Structure 1
């Protein structure tokens, strides 16, 4: 025997039945639960038999305009609040049960928010059985007359079935009845649990069509739950220990030889009636994890999976016994899944263990949604992403169904109350996405090589034999073996043959009489047997004649069949030719489709590149327009600035030239006065015209004035202006002088003097805790282009937390300005002074006139309102 090479995994055998190339979408149905209270707000409206509409509740606004949004969702079938359990079963579960009996797998699960009616839909209530009890009732109504005896089918603990003969099955029944008695089949509704007595109604006789009468069937059920991502067997019989109870053991998932997933070590119970099967289910239902939450009194805390497994094996050629070939056994299963409801822990008020349970439930449902999304993406986009089935036990257990091992259906249960609107939106989106996933259609199971109708032919032969025996005066109700057995059992028993006395004359005559009676009965049996044998021989002769005639008929039919076979062969040849041609055309179509996809991909890439370039061009054009606008603004600002600068320079130059002309004019006048005085001695000089000299520029004001040769003028006093307080910061408070390192010293006059100040370059909590006032020096460019300095002042206050806060109360501005006062022309109407006042009243001294002008200028520029409106300081004269 060859061994596999070490380090390599041996190749797995191919699956028993390859999936079909045809695919069907997942059937998604929607069921709306009635409102609990009549005054509750309803957010779901049934538009048609396939469409529902969601209305946002009052106060829930979904768009930017503040309007309420209405969304419609379409399903395969929508069941309103008035739908019955019978109608729901006919549309949803009945086709799956029909497929189960014909050897095909099925998966049906309910999905929805907590309290939306999933358990009621699956299980039902007394008088209103759900999908599960009605499915069991239909199964046993269909296969009831064709069920095998108990323990004829036996599980092999590897997700397969074996067939035992009648004797082994009988021994198995006796052994289990003696050791572990199996609950007997409940024949009446009174023996059922009162809680489930009305859930199964025998009068609802649903039956599947096309049941194979030449096969024998047996039903096995198992019930598991997935709690906190662990699998537990609800039918496991644990020994109860009051002192130290044994916790349930978790089960693991395995893969059988056909790559199907199953729960290893799970108990599978063979049932013979719908009542017995539902009784087993109810026994496991009582062990399921439920809890009382704020949303539901008995909220399911786990996912429950009820598996119905149907074993089917064909009969032999005579139609009496089951074939003992394991390869001929067909096993199909129907999984009914009640998923736990998705919920928000904030609404349920969960704490501790409930929070952990809710987290695991939401995580498993999220993983189911992720698998559905990736399946949909792979099918619609042609990708080959790996589906994460192994991330959760729910998806890992049912991965075969989504890979093409059966039909998948889902019932979405929704609660129309307004409190569940957010969760209902997510459920609707998931359901709408799920029905876009396609699952491969399962193929029909192969049948054995025997001709159908074996059971029917055997029964017809027995009826024909009984009829002919009746015509010939033989037994009517019993056949020959039963008559012989009756005669054999009617033989008298032999008396005691023990002789104790040699003179005994009673024992020997009694024994002789008994033997004579047995000999007479033996002769009767021989006569009866010969009679039956003669009848059988005559019947066989008649049958032989019939068979000869039938052989002739069959020979004729065989000739016709040969002709038809020739026609069929020619048709098959034509079909083969057409199939080859079709395959060739399909190959060409595939090549064209691939070429089309390549071209479409190139087209999309080129379109994307074109759109990218268009967007880039638009951005460049936008940036160009923005830059043009910015440059226009900069040019206009620069032009305005230079215009103002040119105007300022022209005014300064004009003022400088006027001052020079005025100085020259004064010099000429003084020279003229001296010359005229020297020419005419004794004649008084006319007083010069009193004119106010124009303001000189700051450059000329800094130059010392030249003294003229004229006598000194009259003594004049410099006007004294009233001193004003420069700043309130000169008080006795302690200040924080916050002056950044980037500040410039512009040399302006009237700088604030801040005594008792702590100078800092950055805010300091330590400095603020020692001072009462705060001043911040801030520099910025004014509208005229000059740099101005702002002194922002505030009070330091204590806060409740023990810190300091600054409340700003005043802003002072220090700004440099260049002010010019144009000269005034002399008036010709000014009269001459009186005699003797020539030297006292005339301003002939240039130095005197300049000092007076300077005092007048200084007095006119400093106003009394500086203290209230901020200080405006100018350049030094």
Structure 2
């Protein structure tokens, strides 16, 4: 940075700065390239069950909101949030191996107060009349946000409508640095839960997409009144964010000042915990903004020193766990009743009887000789199984008896017929020997009929 008093800053020491980044996009970079390189890997991790965060940091007018949300003029100007929603829901439609549930929340932090951007009362009420989002902390130091709604989105269209609704409610003002400057920090969060059919294990993940307000010196903006108050709160919250980043970068630091501001409290997991975090540093190319650009790069270098350890977020669904525990208790009661020979007085329900009959029927229809019938330790089920088998055997035996009787009748009929035939043949032979046939021609016809039989 050469010495130049005309631009309003003096630097007598350094003439060059060097910073290291994982990726650099120039002013010609397209939104799809930014998404593929930055947001897509984090979205894939969120789908796999890991928490993720992407946040943009930089001075007013450097392109944070354009990068995160996008422009409204062309479809190709869509930012990270709408492209991430498209990618996630396309993946959910293709993956039929799991049952997915998605919810969306949109938090605005304005003058260090939280507001729900998806609150339907936004349009008809003043900002100060709306319920403020407050931070609650449980014994495990998990953060919960009161008065922040969680809206379910079953498809991409519903999610985008929620995004557009929140964007229309954001605090935007014209400043000397930017015609449409966002005067608040906004956190768009996608909550994803997935479960395999029949499994009690649920994976829950959340993806924070954060658009921070502009960071610049108040003197340079030349604002006053309400805009000055907003700028002070913005810079104060960013200052606390920087303090947290510095503390996290120090290995032996015992205390991290998360509670200093609402934003650092909400992003506690994202900054130094169970999360995969990506930071986008936006810079202005104008020469008069060099000092702000250097400040942003320095902040980014401190963020790069933080090491997060993201873990898979799996838990047991409480409802399914209750069902499984009830089943175990029922089986244990059956085993105890069998050991103690205690008679169960209550009768089996129709549903239990139907399930038991289906189980026995499958066992009887199974051609495998080594198949077994397991009805548990419930003597009521054992007795019902024996009764079912008794009726089954009796029904089959009755059918066999009818078949046997029919067969015996046929056999007896054949025996009688054969006996009659033999006798007639013998009689005919006797008549032939005595010469009866020769004397009476009528016998000749009769014998022919007998032989034909």
Matched, 1:419 2:368: no
- Aligned length in residues: 323
Match of 1:345 in 2: 218
Match of 1:118 in 2: 64
Inter-CA distance 266–548: structure 2 relative to 1 (3 Å threshold): farther
Matches for 1:21-420 after TM superposition, within 5 Å = 62-63=11-12, 69-125=15-71, 126-127=74-75, 128-144=77-93, 213-238=96-121, 247-256=129-138, 258-316=140-198, 328-377=201-250, 379=251, 383-420=252-289
Provide the rounded CA distance (Å) in 2 between the counterparts of 1:305 and 1:113. 18
| TM-score, normalised relative to structure 2 | 0.66
Question: Aligned with 2:178: secondary structure?
Answer: coil
Q: Is the 8 A contact 2:272 2:306 kept in 1?
A: no
Q: Is the 8 A contact 1:240 1:246 kept in 2?
A: no
Match of 1:431 in 2: 300
Provide the rounded CA distance (Å) in 2 between the counterparts of 1:362 and 1:78. 26
**Deviations 1:84-127, CA, capped at 9 Å, x for gaps:** 11111111111111111111101110000110000000011232
How far off its partner does 1:215 sit?
2.4
**Deviations 1:504-541, CA, capped at 9 Å, x for gaps:** xxxxxxxxxxxxxxxxxxxxxxxxxxxxxxxxx99x96
How far off its partner does 1:245 sit?
9.0
Gaps of 5+ in 2: 318-360, 373-453
Provide the rounded CA distance (Å) in 1 between the counterparts of 2:303 and 2:135. 25
Inter-CA distance 349–264: structure 2 relative to 1 (3 Å threshold): same
Q: Is the 8 A contact 1:225 1:288 kept in 2?
A: yes
Question: Aligned with 1:305: secondary structure?
Answer: strand
Question: Aligned with 1:81: secondary structure?
Answer: coil
Question: Aligned with 1:405: secondary structure?
Answer: coil
Q: Is the 8 A contact 1:106 1:334 kept in 2?
A: yes
Provide the rounded CA distance (Å) in 2 between the counterparts of 1:129 and 1:57. 39
Q: Is the 8 A contact 1:404 1:442 kept in 2?
A: no
Inter-CA distance 214–391: structure 2 relative to 1 (3 Å threshold): same
Inter-CA distance 412–249: structure 2 relative to 1 (3 Å threshold): same
- Choose between structure 1 and 2: higher helix proportion: 2
How far off its partner does 1:422 sit?
1.3
How far off its partner does 1:55 sit?
7.3
Provide the rounded CA distance (Å) in 2 between the counterparts of 1:239 and 1:130. 24
Question: Aligned with 1:365: secondary structure?
Answer: helix
Question: Aligned with 1:307: secondary structure?
Answer: strand
Q: Is the 8 A contact 1:61 1:69 kept in 2?
A: no
Q: Is the 8 A contact 2:137 2:144 kept in 1?
A: yes
Inter-CA distance 272–130: structure 2 relative to 1 (3 Å threshold): same
**Deviations 1:137-171, CA, capped at 9 Å, x for gaps:** 111011125xxxxxxxxxxxxxxxxxxxxxxxxxx
Q: Is the 8 A contact 1:303 1:339 kept in 2?
A: yes
How far off its partner does 1:70 sit?
1.6
Larger-gyration structure (1/2): 1
How far off its partner does 1:239 sit?
8.0
Write out the 4+ residue segments of structure 1 that deviate beyond 6 Å after TM superposition.
54-58, 547-551
| TM-score, normalised relative to structure 1 | 0.35
Provide the rounded CA distance (Å) in 2 between the counterparts of 1:432 and 1:340. 19
Q: Is the 8 A contact 2:3 2:12 kept in 1?
A: no
Gaps of 5+ in 1: 1-53, 146-210, 317-322, 449-536, 552-877
Q: Is the 8 A contact 2:56 2:281 kept in 1?
A: yes
Provide the rounded CA distance (Å) in 1 between the counterparts of 2:262 and 2:147. 16
Higher RCO, Cα 8 Å, sep 6+: 2
Provide the rounded CA distance (Å) in 2 between the counterparts of 1:108 and 1:56. 36
Provide the rounded CA distance (Å) in 1 between the counterparts of 2:300 and 2:122. 43
Inter-CA distance 445–239: structure 2 relative to 1 (3 Å threshold): closer
